[in-house]
Structure formats: C-alpha cells, structure tokens
Amino acid sequence: MNLLLATSTLIFVALLSALMVLIRRIGFAGSDLPVTAEWIDDLSIERYRPMARLLDSADIEFLRSQPGCTPMMLTRLRRQRRQIFGAYLRCLQSDFGRVCCALKLVMLQSQHDRPELATILIRQQITFACGMLLVHGRLVLYHWGIGCVDVARLVKSFDAMRLELRTLLPAAVTMAA
C-alpha cells in the first residue's frame, strides 16, 4: 500500500512538473512578437487543418493494401508524417505563445482593468499545456502503432485566443502598427 502511494505521488509530481514546464514554455514562446496587421491577419486555424489528416490511418491502410508495400515503407511513411506533424505542432505552440504575449501586452497597455481576460488567458494557457501533454503522449503511442492523435482541442484553444486578440485590436489600430 505504501509503495502504491509513493508511486502515485511520484507520478503526480512528475506530471505536475511537466505541466509547469509547458506552461512556462508557452508563456515565453512569443518573446519576439511580430504584432503587425499582416501577422494578425495571417493567424488562421486553416494553417493547421492538415494536422488532422497527417496521422490518419487511412493512408497507411491504403499503402498497406498496395502490392509491393513493405514494412520498411510503412515505417518510413509513419516517421515522415510524425516529423511533419511535429513541425506543425511547434508552429502551433509558437503562434499560441505569441497570441498570449500579445494579449498580455494589450492588458498591460489598456486603460481599463480586464480581470475576465486575465482569467480566460490563464485558463486557456493551462488547457493548451494539458492538450500539448496529451498530444505528445498520443504521439508516442502512435510511434508504436497504437491509436491516433487528435489536435482539435489544441486548435480550438488557439482559435479562442486568436479571436480574443482580434476583437481587442480593431482593424484601424492594427493598420497603424
């Protein structure tokens, strides 16, 4: 019983530490803010739409059904897809961090206190960090051929922050930047 409690505590502390590292990394990801009208206009969830299909098993199954398909080909395709997915994931994390940093700057420079925005920001950062942990865990399982990876929650969290930034910065202000 004591061994189970000690193991559970150790796992909890490890997960909490990983979550804190992710939150810190996300919080400082956007230190080089390119907050211009073009950057804000380029922010779109459409950029991350390919992520949903990249690790889809349908392509693997199709390749497997083709004559001449070897296990080495399947392994190589899965590895290449994981690498591309990882690049998209890093870009999503970076964009999310930049949007959060831009929102923090808006809050700092605002003449009105926005405690509800601060609450939303913190909540979304935690949600995003937990989602990143989940996606990375599922990516490890995918590497072994188990399950799939779903990024819908991460993209939704990014979109919520992107829309919040969009509503706070009217077109006239962004054009002046």
Asked whether the whole model's pTM tops 0.75, one would answer no
Dihedral of CA atoms 33, 35, 40, 42 in degrees, nearest 10, equals -60
Q: Model confidence over 30-62: pLDDT tens digits?
A: 445 556 656 776 788 888 989 988 888 888 888
Q: What does the pLDDT read at residue 30?
A: 46
Each domain of the chain, given as residue ranges in start order, spans 2-176
Low-confidence ranges of the chain (pLDDT < 50): 30-31, 171-177
Q: What does the pLDDT read at residue 89?
A: 95
What string of DSSP letters covers 85-119?
A: HHHHHHHHHHHHHHHHHHHHHHHHH-SS--HHHHH
